[in-house]
Amino acid sequence: MRILSGIAVVALIAGCNSGSSTKPPANPTPAAPNVAEVDVAPQVPAAGQKKPKADVGKAKKTRPSEDPGVNPLDVFEPVPGEPKFEMVVAEGKPVSGDDFTGILPPAGIDSTRFNAPDLPKPPVVPKKSVAAPSTAAQPPADSDATDRKTRSGRKTVAHKRPERKTADRKLADRKKTSRKTEETPAEPRVAVGNGKTLPAGFSPLTAAKDPALGWPLRIRSDRDGAEMALVPGGAVIVGHDGGPRESSPQIGVVLDSFYMDVNEVTLKQYEKYRKHLIEDRGLDNVPEAKNFKSPPNFPALGVTLIQADFYAKWAGKELPTEAEWERAARGPAAFTHPWGNGRAIWTHARTPEEIDAVRTFRTDVSPYGIYDLAGNAREWCTDRYSPTAFADALKSAGGELRNWKGPRLGETEDAHVVKGNGPNWDAWYRTGLDGRRPHNNVGFRCILRLPEKPAE
């Protein structure tokens, strides 16, 4: 360091002795261009100077990692190499997350459209045109009507007084009116192939179908925008042997196929329902969800069973039974938890009764791709709650229980089953709550039942 300092001093003295002006070398060696500066931020030429052609070519240079034949908006295009999943926590330190195997959608879906590719739209049913009545005066086609001549020779029509309608005539008119209502073309159903049609108000999200049933794996409810997953029917296990008294013994139930909302009804969806009733129907007594101040992607909580049932009917759906809920959560193998029989693996700490945005925990997903059946909001079922429901059903069932809807009488008149958020995240856990009252941690989701026989 001392030698370098001495050289610097000598150079400074020499510079002072040689005068204030120094001539640059005749042929200076050009500095190597910075590739990053050329690619990212090319220098702007001074006024009056033309940009060299070489700079133009370098400015448009394509990075080697890009493939010109790949649509840059196609976020689902697989990239060669081993995938890496990382999550950044609040402290700013990257923490490796869990690896998950995903099924890539068909190529060609760009980042501006997160729905399935465009599907053929259902045919539009033309409305019948009704001819306008003629304004010309016509004599009634009544046989009792007679023509009369006045003194001036003109003819006038004598009208018979209308007869009073008897009870039989009124009944006939009602039948005629109801027949006209039935003949009115309803909203078109959506054909999905193999002679199957979705009810009006529901659209397929993907062309992929269940190979045995022929129904699309995903559909969307046009009314509330909910994505719904197909849950095939069949013989299912409900309850748990050796569990608590209210959840045992396990029983077998045969169910028809149905669709279930992929996540709980959110505050955004519930507010859309309230807005429809208040603005379009003029109702002013539609209660808000208890957590209406939460973000719109949180589940709607504090909704009574009656309010949840009203919402389901508005959306053209229904609330699930306990057997249907467990089928969606436990899958065909009747897992203990939605993800299987092992312990829960969360990306960060999670406790029961914790409420988060829907689909926050991507490992809380059932074999059918339905989220938050273990944690998040507890959910209403339509069954009446009885702590001996399974034992009573096992005694009284002479044969198989098909589409079982729970006991006829509950522990109390208004007690109904609530599922989810049990100890150890067990999917067979159940409890009963008063359906007339709002509960701060109880929400709901809907299902769409299908006219399909269960798979053998």
What pLDDT was estimated at residue 283? 84
Instruction: Flag whether pLDDT at 384 surpasses 80.
Output: yes
Least confident of 321-325, 343-347, 367-371, 444-448: 343-347
Q: Say if CB 264 and CB 221 are below 8 A apart.
A: no
More confident residue, 264 or 40: 264
Expressed in angstroms, the distance from the first to the final Cα of the chain is: 87
Instruction: Flag whether pLDDT at 247 surpasses 60.
Output: yes
Q: Say if CB 427 and CB 330 are below 8 A apart.
A: yes
What pLDDT was estimated at residue 261? 98
Distance CA 150, CA 291 (A): 81
Average pLDDT estimate for 427-433? 96
DSSP class per residue in 219-279: EEETTT--EEEEE--EEEEES-TTS-GGG-S-EEEEE--EEEESSPPBHHHHHHHHHIIII
Instruction: Flag whether pLDDT at 389 surpasses 50.
Output: yes
pLDDT in tens, 196-245: 899 999 999 988 999 999 999 999 999 999 999 999 999 999 999 987 99
What pLDDT was estimated at residue 194? 78
What pLDDT was estimated at residue 336? 95
- Highest mean pLDDT: which range of 117-121, 165-169, 215-219: 215-219
The domains located in the chain, with CATH, are 235-253+265-446 (3.90.1580.10)
Q: What is the 3-state secondary structure (H, E, C) of 84-124?
A: CCEEECCCCCEEECCCCCCCCCCCCCECCCCCCCCCCCCCC
Distance CA 57, CA 59 (A): 5
Average pLDDT estimate for 106-113? 45
Label residue 187 by pLDDT band (50, 70, 90). low
**What are the Cα distances from residue 122, in Å, to 198, 202, 299?**
11, 11, 32
Average pLDDT estimate for 273-279? 93
What pLDDT was estimated at residue 142? 42
Residues whose CB is less than 8 angstroms from the CB of residue 19 and which lie 6 or more positions away in sequence, other chains included: none
What pLDDT was estimated at residue 21? 43
What pLDDT was estimated at residue 314? 96
Q: Which residue reads 């996540």 in tokens?
A: 263
Instruction: Flag whether pLDDT at 195 surpasses 60.
Output: yes
Mean pLDDT rounded to a whole number for the chain: 74
What pLDDT was estimated at residue 34? 45
Q: What is the model's pTM?
A: 0.61
pLDDT in tens, 50-108: 555 544 444 444 444 455 665 655 544 444 544 444 444 445 444 444 433 434 445 55
Label residue 452 by pLDDT band (50, 70, 90). low
What pLDDT was estimated at residue 50? 54
pLDDT in tens, 338-347: 999 999 889 8
What pLDDT was estimated at residue 281? 84
Label residue 7 by pLDDT band (50, 70, 90). very low
What pLDDT was estimated at residue 62? 47
pLDDT in tens, 298-354: 999 999 999 999 999 999 999 999 999 999 999 999 999 999 999 988 988 999 889
Instruction: Flag whether pLDDT at 119 surpasses 80.
Output: no
Q: Say if CB 274 and CB 311 are below 8 A apart.
A: no
Average pLDDT estimate for 373-401? 90
What pLDDT was estimated at residue 430? 96
DSSP class per residue in 145-199: -EEEE-TTS-EEEEPPPPPPP-HHHHHHHHHHHHHHHHHS--PPPEEEETTEEEP
